[in-house]
């Protein structure tokens, strides 16, 4: 954009006035919803969620009342300041999201989760289904 408006090349405080104008409209908080794949396998469900940049301490996975919840929150702070803390520019960004999935018939004590290379993988073992048996015949005496 600077090449289109050469008069704004030398802006205030190291950036152009036009850049600063648009920065004022940037959201201080963003909500990002990760892309999720859910696969049903023979004995379990597998959920994979893209969480680039999140650490395991910033992610919370819970299962209650047949609902799996994935929560994550990241607070990045970037500051440019002088020696006396007279802020010339201060940027704070918070990223947070919550995804919920209704999943019944899960062995909650055997749920496993792993976060590796920005991908959260959750394994939800299924409760073994009872094979329907022939009805039990009761003699009337």
- Domain ranges for the chain: 1-27, 32-125
Q: What per-residue confidence (pLDDT) applies to 92? A: 61
- Give the model confidence (pLDDT) of 60-97 as tens digits: 999 999 999 999 988 766 555 556 666 566 566 677 88
Residue 99 in tokens = 């995804």
Task: For the beta carbon of residue 139, count every other beta carbon within 10 angstroms.
Answer: 4
Q: What per-residue confidence (pLDDT) applies to 32? A: 62
Share of the chain above pLDDT 90, in %: 45
pLDDT at 4 over 90: no
Q: What per-residue confidence (pLDDT) applies to 83? A: 63
Give the CATH fold of the 32-125 domain: Immunoglobulin-like (2.60.40)
Residues 32-36, mean pLDDT to the nearest whole number: 81
Instruction: Say if residues 102 and 63 touch (Cβ distance below 8 Å).
Output: no
Q: Give every CB contact of residue 74 below 8 A, 6+ residues apart in sequence.
A: 53, 54, 58, 94, 95, 96
Q: What are the φ and ψ backbone dihedral angles of 35, each rounded to 5 degrees? A: -75, 140
Q: How confident is the model at residue 132 (pLDDT cuts 50, 70, 90)?
A: low
């Amino acid at each position: 954009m600077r090449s289109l408006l050469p008069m704004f090349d030398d802006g205030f405080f190291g950036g152009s006035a036009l850049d600063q104008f648009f920065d004022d409209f940037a959201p201080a908080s963003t909500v990002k919803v990760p892309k999720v794949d859910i696969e049903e396998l023979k004995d379990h469900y597998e959920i994979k969620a893209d969480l680039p940049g999140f650490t395991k301490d910033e992610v919370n996975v819970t299962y209650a009342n047949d609902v799996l919840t994935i929560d994550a929150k990241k607070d990045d702070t970037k500051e440019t300041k002088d020696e006396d803390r007279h802020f010339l520019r201060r940027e704070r960004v918070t990223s947070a999201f919550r995804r919920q999935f209704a999943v019944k018939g899960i062995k909650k004590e055997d749920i496993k989760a792993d976060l590796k290379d920005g991908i959260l993988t959750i394994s939800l073992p299924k409760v073994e289904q009872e094979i329907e048996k022939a009805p039990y015949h009761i003699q009337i005496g």
